[in-house]
Amino acid sequence: MFRIFLFFLIFLTLSVAFAEEKVQVKDIRYYEIHNGIRVIIETTGFVEFTRGQLKNPERLFFDLKKVQLNKEIKKEFLINKHSLSKIRIGQFDLNTVRIVFDLLKSEYEFKIIQLEDPSRLVIDIYSVKDNASSLIDINNENDKKLKLIKKKIVIDPGHGGKDPGAIGPNGLMEKDVVLDIALKIREIMKDNPKYEIILTRANDTFIPLQERTEIANKNKADLFISIHANASLNNHARGIETYILNWTDDEEAIRVAARENAISVKKMKELKGEIGLMLASLEREAKREDSVKIAGYVHNSLVNRIKFSFSSNDNGLKQALFYVLVGAQMPSCLLEVSYISNPEEERLLADEKYRMKIAQAIAEGIDNYFEKSEKVKKVKYTNNFLIRADNKKSKNSTIGSKKL
């Protein structure tokens, strides 16, 4: 009798623990974005997932672990657009929900991001142009450059609205500092006929991370630069650092990215496998070599100008997984212009003159980038195939000793 009771008790405890662990898929919806389809899967919590691909017919799927599907939701969506034929979702087994993308062709790109508050998975599926049309595009690109069509630069002041970003010991908010710097950059560059400056926000509004690069993609921008102020528990931490998108094992870089992504360091580490796959899938779109260049030009300009007028540490170029850069179809980087958590740098960030110096340095870095790469591209224009061959070399680029 006792044994039966004990068994029952254990079973009850296990099933309670089990039930508590399960996350629910509440809803699924989709909408069209530039060159693709965005699918939002609303969940009741953080989800572990794996990815798989199947051929004949071409399918991409994600298995969401320890997840239960709300039986009320629609389970199939006909798309027939942007490489995508159908989206299907179902309870694959007791613990797994599978979402399947039936594809029209094997050429496609995807990205997946998990966001909190409210919990959701965002999956984008993009069409990829075939070789013939991308060659035509390269021609058009060069034609445009020769005619000196304005370069579109998207400046993204981080945070905003309900999200203050980091807050300094004396109450200065990151969202206010970076907005002012972005407005100053626009002011400095607006009369330059070479550039068109687009801001992701020009006032104190909240914009979700994944919508920020979408603004740049829709505008077919040439550059995407996200501006932030850093924070650390160590209030002596100071200086300027510039990031490009990539996976990293550097604890400090993971911490910075976790804060900007508004997820925990633990969750950042859990993302590693899937994100690695996704970054590889986006390799062609990532324009990594150009991202390293723009990050380098802006970083050098910032360090030199700030060092000249105010003393500051050069913390160097780094890489980390920032959600806000995922999906950018143009060269991109993220700037941590100073530490708002350091009382001295907080005081500087509150100073109009300091913010103006930073804005001038960023504008100068952007200008240097286009001036220098313009010259290189004019030489290469004589042979389109040269440009394509050079793009492949970008895989060998390095930052410091790290392979990108």
Closest separation between CB of residue 13 and Zn ion, Å? Answer: 43
**Residue among 158, 168, 239, 327 that touches Zn ion (CB under 5 A):** 158
Nearest distance from C-beta of residue 259 to Zn ion, angstroms? 7
Q: Please, which residue, 37 or 185, has the CB nearer to Zn ion?
A: 185
Min. distance of Cβ 88 from Zn ion in angstroms?
Answer: 37
- Scan for tokens 């039986």, then name that residue: 71
* Binding-residue pattern over the window 259 to 298 for Zn ion, x denoting contact by CB under 5 A: -x--------------------------------------
Nearest-approach distance from CB 338 to Zn ion, in angstroms? 12
Number of residues that bind Zn ion (CB under 5 A): 4
* Residue where the block lists tokens 């991370």: 209
Interaction residues for Zn ion, span 233-262 (CB under 5 A):
260
Query: What is the rounded CA–CA span in Å between residue 336 and residue 331?
Result: 17
Decide whether 158 or 327 has the Cβ nearer to Zn ion: 158
Q: For residues 281 and 111, is the Cβ–Cβ distance under 8 A?
A: yes
- What is each CA distance from 368 to 36, 362, 378, 379, in whole angstroms? 33, 10, 16, 17
Given candidates 111, 120, 228, 305, which one binds Zn ion under the rule CB under 5 A?
228
Q: Between residues 35 and 210, which has the closer beta carbon with respect to Zn ion? A: 210
What's the closest the beta carbon of residue 274 comes to Zn ion, in angstroms? Answer: 24
**At its nearest, how many Å lie between Zn ion and the CB of residue 134?**
34
Q: Which is nearer to Zn ion, 165 or 365 (CB)?
A: 165
For residues 305 and 12, what is the distance between their CA atoms, to the nearest angstrom?
66
Q: Does 365 bind Zn ion (CB under 5 A)?
A: no
Taking the complex as a whole, the smallest distance from the CB of residue 27 to Zn ion amounts, in Å, to: 29
Residue placing its CB nearer to Zn ion in the complex, 228 or 305: 228
Between 9 and 202, whose beta carbon lies closer to Zn ion? 202
Which CB, 247 or 322, lies closer to Zn ion? 322
Based on the shown chain and the rule CB under 5 A, indicate whether residue 331 belongs to the binding site for Zn ion.
no
β-pairing, 76-81 vs 120-127, is unpaired
Q: Which amino acid is at 172?
A: L
Residue of this chain nearest to Zn ion (CB atom):
228
CB of 158 to Zn ion, least distance (A): 4
Window of 68-76, 183-191, 228-236, 298-306 that interacts with Zn ion by CB under 5 A: 228-236
Rule CB under 5 A: say whether 175 interacts with Zn ion: no
Alpha-carbon distance 228 to 218, whole Å? Answer: 23
Identity of the residue, 196 or 260, whose beta carbon is nearer to Zn ion in the bound complex: 260
- Tell me the two tokens of residue 13: 């405890």
- Please state the closest distance from residue 159 (CB atom) to Zn ion, in A: 6
> Which is nearest to 268 in space by CA: 142, 116, 398?
116
User: Residue 82 or residue 184: which is nearer to Zn ion going by CB?
Assistant: 184
Which residue in 157, 165, 239, 296 binds Zn ion (CB under 5 A)? 165
- Taking Cα atoms as reference points, which of 5, 7, 46, 6 lies closest to residue 24? 46
111 binds Zn ion (CB under 5 A): no
Phi-psi region of 82 (alpha: psi -120 to 50; beta: other; left: phi over 0): left
In the complex with Zn ion, the residue whose CB is nearer, 54 or 202, is 202
Binding site for Zn ion (CB under 5 A): 158, 165, 228, 260
